Amino acid sequence: MKKIFCVLLSLLIICPPAKANALSGLEKPTLTRYQAVKMIVPLVRENRTYNTGADGFADTSDLDVAYAKAINLVYGTGDNRFLPDQPVSYQDFLLILKRGIDKAAPELFYDNTKIRSFQNEADVSAYARYGLSALTEINVLTGRDAFYPLRTITVEDALTFVGRAKDAVKNGVRSAAGVMPVKKKPKVLLYHSISVPKGVPDDYLYLYVTPENFEQQIKYLRDNNYVFLFPEELSFFDRLEKAVVLTFDDGYEDVYTDALPILEKYNAKATLFVWTDGIGKPGYCDAEELNKMSAGGVFRIYSHARTHTDLRNLSADEIIGEFSRANDIIYNITKRDVNSLAYPFGYYNNRVLEQTRMYYKTAFVCDKNSKNTAYAIKREYVDYTTGMARFIRIVKK
């Protein structure tokens, strides 16, 4: 308590709140964007080191604010201003805090079946619902909190949330990349484009799932208490009754425009494997979209190599180039370690496997008959022809 009081006092000295009017003399001090960064950046730095080189904002030279920008904790205006003195609402502070937790403990496990309701959640803006719901999974936001999402957060309440975040980072359940389940086979689904195919030859229908069908599938998983997992969390299959890993290959833009809102609606999470030469090309996600998908917590963005070529035809040095370049590009976008790969076309051989082991903790294939080792994890196709009856059989078997 003494430590919290000292932090509060120092914050008020550094950036005192505006004077309350005569009728609100008993109001508690409220928080600015600058103060929010000063609270949350230490949480990250105490637990994780990130190399940063991005420029800061035009309206502040503060190093912590520049750091927060570089690791995707905060965003600015279109003309690169941070607006440090602008008050921050409860929901926006909690979103920044959620990003900070994910940077401080990127392996922290969020269990979507543990989501709880909280007071005034009906007032939360659509863009903040997924992040705030996720915070209930790790007890940062609880049903005891009576707050008003759109109001400026008080310094006192902000410190309370930061204290809970520190506890979650210290004591929360962690995943371990590369550790496979022993008792159960992981259930991994493979998607590509979430859109309606138009003028597409039958041979390419396997790439498509309509948004309507996709929503039905995700709703089924949510309603039947499936836990959504990332590749780092494969070992959790042994401890969970029902779980599934959702993966998307290539990085089509409709994953951002159509799949992401559905996943947010049902508090699901997924992994997107992108070939980095495709980033920003027509029909594919650009860097800004990938950044937002990753920072929001719904998606982990991992490697589909650089050029989406058959890696079996490359030399060892060429494979190294494919992996190292792709990893650098993705890391610079997400500031998250790239520890998983989906082989382009699902193809690999011993030479590819040797380099894959050097760069990644897990790798995924398209062959449902794979032996399910850490570097040949099988996936089940979900495509345009997959009706609900077949989908249910896939996830149950």
What is the value of pTM for the model shown? 0.91
Residues 6+ apart with CB under 8 A from 373: 180
pLDDT of residue 208: 97
For residues 148 and 121, what is the distance between their CA atoms, to the nearest angstrom?
Answer: 9
- With a cut of 70, which residues of the chain have pLDDT below it? 1-27, 54, 368-369
Dig out the tokens for 147 from the structure.
């707050």
3-state secondary structure the chain: CHHHHHHHHHHHHHCCCCCCCHHHCCCCCECEHHHHHHHHHHHHHCCCCCCCCCCCCCCCCCHHHHHHHHCCCCCCCCCCCCCCCCECEHHHHHHHHHHHHHHHCCCECCCHHHCCCCCCHHHCCHHHHHHHHHHHHCCCCCCCCCCCCCCECEHHHHHHHHHHHHHHHHHCCECCCCCCCCCCCCCEEEECEECCCCCCCHHHHHHEECHHHHHHHHHHHHHCCCEEECHHHHHHHHCCCCEEEEEEEECEHHHHHHHHHHHHHCCCCEEEEECHHHCCCCCECCHHHHHHHHHCCCEEEEECCCCCCCHHHCCHHHHHHHHHHHHHHHHHHHCCCCCEEECHHHCCCHHHHHHHHHHCCEEECCCCCCCCECCEECCEECCCCCCHHHHHHHHHC
pLDDT of residue 159: 97
Residue with tokens 């963005």: 301
- Where b means 16+ CB within 10 Å and e means fewer, 163-183 reads ebbbebbeebeebebbbbbee
φ, ψ of residue 30 to 5 degrees: the values are: -105, 165
For residues 314 and 332, what is the distance between their CA atoms, to the nearest angstrom?
Answer: 25
* Half-sphere CA count of 224, side-chain side, radius 13 A: 13
Handedness of CA 236, 138, 65, 128 (dihedral sign): positive
Q: How many CB atoms lie within 10 A of CB 120?
A: 15
The burial class, CB within 10 Å (0-12 / 13-18 / 19+), for 390 is: exposed
